[in-house]
Amino acid sequence: MWPSAVPRELKEMCLQDFANDMSMLCLQQSICVLCNSRVLLNTMKECSFEDIVDLEILHEDSTIGNIVSKIKNINGRCNI
C-alpha cells in the first residue's frame, strides 16, 4: 500500500515558499550598533535617538570587556 502522490500544486507552493524564504531580500543582514551582532535585517528595528526616552540604557554589557580580552588572550589576537 503506497502513499498517494503529492499533488503538483502543493509541490509548487512549497518550492515557491522556499525560494521566497531564501531570497536575498529575506537573507540580508546588518550589524546592530548597540551589541555589534550580525542579524537578519528583517528582524531589526530602526529608531532614532530622539525616540529613546532614556539614553542611559544604551550601554554595553558589563561582561563584554572580559569576554573580548579572554578571546584575545587565546592566541594573542582577536578571533571575533
Tens digits of per-residue pLDDT, 38-57? 888 888 888 887 887 877 77
Task: Name the one residue in this structure whose C-alpha cell is 550601554.
Answer: 59
Q: Report pLDDT for 78.
A: 47
Mean pLDDT of the chain: 79
> Which amino acid belongs to residue 67?
I
Q: Which residues of 26-59 are buried (b: 16+ CB within 10 A; e: fewer)?
A: eeeeeeeeeeeeeeeeeeeeeeeeeeeeeeeeee
Whole-structure pTM value? 0.45
Question: 33 with 48: CB under 8 angstroms?
Answer: no
Phi/psi at 6 (5° precision)? -75, 130
